[in-house]
Amino acid sequence: MRLSAIFTSLALPLVSLAIPVSEYILHARDIGQLEPGTTPVLSQQAAFSGDITKCQGYNVDNTQTSDSGGLLIYLTLINKCSAYGTDIKSLTVSVEYETESRLHVHMYDNDLKQYQVPQYVLPRPGGSSSCNKDKSNLKFEYNQDPFEFWITRKEDNAVLFDTRQNNIPTYKESTQIQGNYSNYTVLPSHPLIFEDQYLQLSSALPKDANIFGLGEVIASTGYIRNSSATVQTFWARDVGDPVDENMYGVHPMYMEVRWDEKRNKLMSHGVFLLNSNGMDVILRDGVIEYRAIGGTFDFYFFSGPSPNDVAAQYAQAVGLPQVMPEWSFGFHLCRWGYTSVVDTRSTVTRMREAGIPLEVQWNDIDWMRAYREFQFDQNYAPDDYRAFVDELHSMNQHYIPIIDAAIGYLYNDSDVFDVYSRGHELDVWMKNPDGTEYVGAVWPGFTVFPDWFNPKMQQVWTEAFYNLSQVVDFDGIWLDMNEPSSFVDGSATNSTIPIEDTSVVPPNYTPQAPPTDYPEGYFPNVSGPSGNVTVDGQLTYGQNGTAPKNTALRRSFATEIAFEARDSSSPPDLPANNPDIPYVDEPPYPIRNQAGRLSAKTVSPNATHYGGLQEYNVHNLWGTMEEIHMHDTLLDLKPGKRPFMVARSTFAGIGRKTAHWLGDNYSTFAYMKRSIQGVLQFNLFGIPMVGPDTCGFNGNTDEELCNRWMQLSAFFPFYRNHNTKLALSQEPYNWDSVRNASIKAINARYALLPYWQTLFAKAAGYGEPPVIPLFHEFQNPSYLTIDSQFLIGPSILVTPVLQPNESSVYGIFPNANGVFWVDWWTHTKVDNSKKDNISISLPLGEIGVHVRSGSVLLLYDQPEYTVKETRDGGYSIQVVLDGKGYAEGDAKIDDGETYPVNELTCLTFVASENCLTSTPNGNYNIDNKLKRIVIVGVWNKPSVASLNGKTIDTSQVKYDEKVGKVTITNVGGDLNQGWTLKWE
């Protein structure tokens, strides 16, 4: 309170001075509403009523055909509205049939003063000259008075998006979110509203709609969204993985899936709103409503009709994901708390001594002097640091350091920081409205923030990393805190108060003691003082009888299981003008930012970028802009090599530049389960290289949890173990059972690397997601709620144990059209012929991995310690014949590192009638040989086998009659040539 009073007296009208976040009471605007209410969201500004019921929308004035054959519709406001902003009286609606599956509907102000995302940030896909409304799978129709439109898919005549008010239910009473009633869920009417600081549009949905997407979010309902009580806020926020709240990334895209009784199949479509301003999207039964505090309504509609089609069509629109370096699929290890080069080297050594493959070693902010980017801590002296990274490279391993978003500020005339000074010289740091540098506070103390819209920012950034690379030959970069995060609310200084006179004291966020909580389910009378829930490999979770089960598992699926148990790089293009926004810090409509004010724990929305552009419009783009610059920097520093970075804050389309980790999660079984929905979500968003902090970041993990999680994450695209400072160590060598489980899972992962590379090549080529839920492949509406299992491509089904103290699990093994599944480890067939819900035994250290019948997989023959050594060992092929003796598959092979990919060979495999063929097509020469072929589903022992007509020696052929498996060794095959294997 004392600081708040001081700042009130000193604040200038145009500059918000900072207050520590710890002094500002952060709260959700809904908390404490224990009874339902009828009050909509109140306006924060007295000039605006907040009453949308008085708004009547727009009329059509005129229409004309666009140059590309689409439609232009001109609208005029019917009556004064002024709900949460100043009315915009004249609008244009542009309708473009860009491809057969994509329709672009953009509603914008005629004066073009509303902010629009630049092409530099998200290049628009454009349209096909051959496509028109007759060839499109989608049909646009509208009413004139008032203007309303609806989108129909021609294939099934389904209305996919419908803004006609008569078809949309209203809700005059609030409903609950996380136990509290939210006035954001009051939806009294549905007019089209287009104001300078408030845009509103609603569309009808089916009852109990199946909605996926609208992230980044950890949804309490799992991967599927709650269609009757969701408020998804889009305002990038530094926060430790909350449930049902806004967090790091902004992806205003959703996929809806409907069961078509007539066609007996799932029909899917997608909707993407390209808008970078703060926004709420509300779901109540029968309606989705958009509420943005700026920008335009720039919609893209995707016709599907399969879920994979929708994901691919979306990725094609926002940008196909970057192909990843092969080494990035290895196992990564990090923690906050490796306080020196000695500590970090010791970890690498212990991993090798334990025999646990380690591909990439990371360092958190410990390497920085006083947490200041680009300066070395005394325990990371340049010579020692350089030698350590060189050692990693000599052992075919890789290295990644962290870089936080904010740059340390000079405290006094004697302070020296070259990166800050260079940026100050070129004037590239974000500004206060009065033109002084905006100063927040992050780990280094006082900080400035890069202005990514400044054309000179790339020069400063590349110089800084070039200088760093002269000491640390990093292979990739970890971008953290780039929402951007700031530990104070507002700027600490301005034109009248220099930093020497500021009253702001940056809070000390450095942990002073270890986390006090025991690991989840810990009972010291059984487990002793070790901190390990599991003792000598025995499960002891909750033996005091009070520890919770994993409540993140979906209730409906748990009920189903119980029943079955009884029964079975150029400068940015800036907008032409940047008009002042009247209410930047507290807009009339207060989006449901769970941190409170828009400026809480981030840069204030009144901060300015190059050309006068306000943070208000581009806050959600800050992280993406950094990632674009970082991508260009990596290309400059390592030309011809695939850039690799992992970033926290993301925006639509940035999968073309970066990977993502799921943020600061917790060491609990619930968060292990929630990591699955996060991976599925980002694969839908076109950012497929994604994974969690394995074993959990916050809090203390334990042996059982880390055992299960290390195995689960081995089957996610991005695989990193990372935890917080001073928590219990969770490197996998700390427990024998975790060590053994990790080695087993990593060996399987490394064998599957050619399959992973193939899936990512397809994602980079046309957008198909590598990791998918079951309903993407199998037409069953009961699978829509399943996110306790997932598929890697079409052929690998992963079934983890997600509950503590359990050694078996029920899983869905789809059996449509005679599909069956073969255990990865034993090649034993799962009997799913009578039902698809099967119990499998998975004691500690085991995870369910099954191969789909009819699949042919190219694998690495012998997993080794590193990816390079594994690759050098050559290939094998695994075939799982279906009930008719047929299987097929493909593989895309390149050198795993060159960017862009100019040399690529695709292998096509077909097995039929006791014959397996391989057909190559491409220009990449595959150096390593085919060593082994395994065929499962051969139920009569072959008397002879031949390759290209030449009989194979019987000593090379082994047969296992229990699983019907033929193994042929010492093949020595050249994958660059076509070949035929026969057995009889």
Output the DSSP codes for 446-459: EEE-B-TTSTTHHH
Mark whether 480 is an active-site residue: yes
Let me know if 155 is a catalytic residue. Answer: no
Classify residue 228 by burial, with Cβ atoms within 10 Å: 0-12, 13-18, 19+. Answer: middle
Task: Give 749's contacts (C-beta < 8 A, 6+ positions apart).
Answer: 329, 331, 714, 715, 719, 863
The answer for residues whose C-beta is within 8 angstroms of residue 769's C-beta and 6 or more apart is: 308, 311, 312, 315, 683, 684, 686, 688, 763, 776
Name, in order, each residue with C-beta under 8 angstroms of 516's C-beta and a sequence gap of 6 or more: none
Q: Rg (Cα) of the chain, in Å, rounded?
A: 28
Instruction: Give the pairing type, strands 230-234 and 279-284.
Output: antiparallel
Give the pair of three-digit tokens for residue 196: 């300078």
Phi, psi (5° rounding) for residue 313? -65, -40
- Specify whether the CB–CB gap between 745 and 708 falls below 8 A: no
- Among candidate residues 280, 373, 664, 846, the one labeled active-site is 664
d(CA 766, CA 323): 11
User: Do residues 227 and 208 make contact, with C-beta atoms less than 8 angstroms apart?
Assistant: yes
What is d(CA 7, CA 26) in angstroms, rounded to the nearest whole number? 18
Say if CB 361 and CB 344 are below 8 A apart.
yes
475 given a catalytic annotation: no
Strand partners, 282: 231, 289
Cα angle 822, 824, 825 (rounded to 5 degrees) comes to: 120
Q: What are phi and psi of 60, to 5 degrees?
A: -85, 125
Q: Which one, of 567, 539, 566, 564, lies nearest residue 811 by Cα?
A: 564
CB 290 within 8 A of CB 199: yes
| Catalytic pick among 373, 451, 483, 615 | 483
CA distance between the termini of the chain:
85
Give the Cβ contact number of residue 431 at 10 Å: 21
Q: How many CB atoms lie within 10 A of CB 558?
A: 16
Q: Among candidates 575, 571, 597, which has minimal Cα distance to 452?
A: 571
Which of 280, 289, 480, 702 is labelled catalytic?
Answer: 480
Enter the tokens of residue 736: 């024998």
Distances (CA, A) of 692 to 164, 672, 675, 715: 41, 8, 6, 12
Q: What pairs with residue 301 in β-bridges? A: 103, 271
198-204 and 297-302 strand pairing? unpaired
> Residue type for 479, please?
L
Per-state percent for the chain, helix, strand, coil, to nearest 5: 25, 30, 50
Burial of residue 72, with CB atoms counted within 10 A of its CB: 0-12 exposed, 13-18 middle, 19 or more buried: middle
Cα–Cα nearest to 802, from 178, 179, 222:
222
Annotated catalytic residues are: 480, 483, 664
